[in-house]
Amino acid sequence: MKLTVTEDASVFEEIAGWIRDRDAHAEHHLALIDQAEAALAAGRRGDASSRELGERIERWRYQYLHEHAVELTWQDETLVDALDGLANRLAGRPSRPPRSTGRAIRDASLDTDSMREAIEMTDPCFPIERLIDRARSLTRRNFATAGTDETAVASSLPARHRMLVYAPLYVSNECVNYCTYCGFRYPLDIARRHLSCDEAMEQVRLLRGRGFRHVLVVGGDFPRLTTTGYYAEIIRAMVAEDVVPAVEIAPQTTQSYAALAAAGACGVTLYQETYDEGRYREYHERGPKSSYHWRLESHDRAAEGGMARLGLGVLLGLSDPRRDVPAMMRHGAYLRDRFPDRTLAFSLPRIHAAPDGFHVPFPVGDESLIRWYCALRVTFPRAELVLSTRESASLRNRLADICITQMSAGSSTAPGGYDEGEEHSGEQFPVSDHRSVAEVARWLDDNGFRAVWSLDKA
Ligand code: SF4
pLDDT digits (tens, 9 = 90+) for 434-449: 999 999 999 999 999 9
- Tell me the C-alpha distance between 289 and 70, whole Å: 17
End-to-end CA distance of the chain: 53
Residue 406 CA to ligand 1 center (angstroms) comes to 23
- Tell me the C-alpha distance between 54 and 196, whole Å: 32
Report the pocket of ligand 1 as residue ranges, CB < 6 Å: 175, 177, 179, 182, 184-185, 220-221, 289
Domain coordinates of the chain in residue numbers? 9-98, 128-457
What are the pLDDT digits (tens) for 421-434? 666 666 677 889 99
The reported pLDDT for the residue numbered 3 is 55
Give percent of the chain above pLDDT 90. 78
Which of 180, 181, 185 for a ligand 1 pocket mutation test, highest count of atoms within 8 Å of Cβ? Answer: 185
Closest CA to 452 of 212, 241, 235: 212
The reported pLDDT for the residue numbered 213 is 97
Confidence of residue 153 (pLDDT cuts 50, 70, 90): very low
Q: Range with the lowest mean pLDDT among 11-20, 177-186, 228-237, 404-413?
A: 11-20
Mean pLDDT, range 353-371, rounded to an integer: 92
What are the pLDDT digits (tens) for 287-308? 999 999 999 999 999 999 999 9
- Find out whether 336 and 375 touch, Cβ atoms under 8 Å: no
The reported pLDDT for the residue numbered 212 is 97
The reported pLDDT for the residue numbered 7 is 45
Position 71 pLDDT exceeds 70: yes
What are the pLDDT digits (tens) for 261-282? 999 999 999 999 999 999 999 9
Nearest CA to ligand 1 atom 4: 179
Confidence of residue 148 (pLDDT cuts 50, 70, 90): very low
Report the atom number in ligand 1 closest to the C-alpha of 250.
3
Closest CA to 169 of 411, 388, 348: 411
Cβ atoms within 10 A of the Cβ of 240, count?
A: 10
As a whole number, the mean pLDDT across the chain is 91
Residue 146 CA to ligand 1 center (angstroms) comes to 41
Cβ atoms within 10 A of the Cβ of 427, count?
A: 20
Report the atom number in ligand 1 closest to the C-alpha of 182.
6
CA distances from 366 to 103, 243, 349, 371, 397 (A): 31, 34, 12, 9, 13
Q: Model's pTM, two decimal places?
A: 0.93
Which of 171, 173, 174, 177 for a ligand 1 pocket mutation test, highest count of atoms within 8 Å of Cβ? Answer: 177
Position 374 pLDDT exceeds 50: yes
Residue 287 CA to ligand 1 center (angstroms) comes to 10
Position 333 pLDDT exceeds 70: yes
Confidence of residue 151 (pLDDT cuts 50, 70, 90): very low
Q: Which residue has the higher pLDDT, 188 or 174?
A: 174
Cis peptide before 187 (omega within 30 of 0): yes
User: How many CA atoms does the CB half-sphere of 236 hold within 13 Å?
Assistant: 11
- Find out whether 259 and 231 touch, Cβ atoms under 8 Å: no
Residue 178 CA to ligand 1 center (angstroms) comes to 7
Report the atom number in ligand 1 closest to the C-alpha of 219.
7
Residue 412 CA to ligand 1 center (angstroms) comes to 16
Cβ atoms within 10 A of the Cβ of 11, count?
A: 15
Nearest CA to ligand 1 atom 5: 185
The reported pLDDT for the residue numbered 299 is 98
The reported pLDDT for the residue numbered 1 is 53
Report the atom number in ligand 1 closest to the C-alpha of 287.
3
Report the atom number in ligand 1 closest to the C-alpha of 186.
5
Report the atom number in ligand 1 closest to the C-alpha of 173.
7
Which of 172, 173, 175 for a ligand 1 pocket mutation test, highest count of atoms within 8 Å of Cβ? Answer: 175
Nearest CA to ligand 1 atom 1: 182
Mean pLDDT, range 351-367, rounded to an integer: 90
Which of 181, 182, 270, 427 for a ligand 1 pocket mutation test, highest count of atoms within 8 Å of Cβ? Answer: 182
SS (H, E, C) the chain: CCCCCCCCHHHHHHHHHHHHHHCCCHHHHHHHHHHHHHHHHCCCCCCHHHHHHHHHHHHHHHHHHHHHHHHCCHHHHHHHHHHHHHHHHHHCCCCCCCCCHHHHHHCHHHCCHHHHHHHHCCCCCCCHHHHHHHHHHHHHHHHCCHHHHHHHHHHCCCCCCEEEEEEEEEEECCCCCCCCCCCCCCCCCCCCCECCHHHHHHHHHHHHHCCCCEEEEEECCCCCCCCHHHHHHHHHHHHHCCCEEEEECCCCCHHHHHHHHHHCCCEEECCCECCCHHHHHHHCCCCHHHCHHHHHCHHHHHHHCCCCEEEEEECECCCCHHHHHHHHHHHHHHHHHHCCCCEEEEECCECCCCCCCCCCCCCCCHHHHHHHHHHHHHHCCCCEEEECCCCCHHHHHHHHHHCCCEEECCCCCCCCCCCCCCCCCCCCCCCCCCCCHHHHHHHHHHCCCEEECCHHHC
- Tell me the C-alpha distance between 259 and 229, whole Å: 9
Position 106 pLDDT exceeds 70: yes
Nearest CA to ligand 1 atom 2: 220
Q: Range with the lowest mean pLDDT among 117-131, 138-152, 399-413?
A: 138-152
Nearest CA to ligand 1 atom 7: 220
Q: Which residue has the higher pLDDT, 2 or 431?
A: 431
Report the atom number in ligand 1 closest to the C-alpha of 220.
7
Which residues are CB-contacts of 329 (< 8 A; sequence separation ≥ 6)?
111, 115, 118, 119, 375, 376, 379, 380
Which of 171, 174, 179 for a ligand 1 pocket mutation test, highest count of atoms within 8 Å of Cβ? Answer: 179
Position 214 pLDDT exceeds 80: yes
CATH of domain 128-457: 3.20.20.70
- Phi-psi category of 117—alpha, beta or left, where left has phi over 0 and alpha has psi -120 to 50? alpha
The reported pLDDT for the residue numbered 67 is 87
In this structure, is the dihedral angle defined by the CA atoms of residues 47, 52, 57 and 58, taken in order, positive or negative?
positive
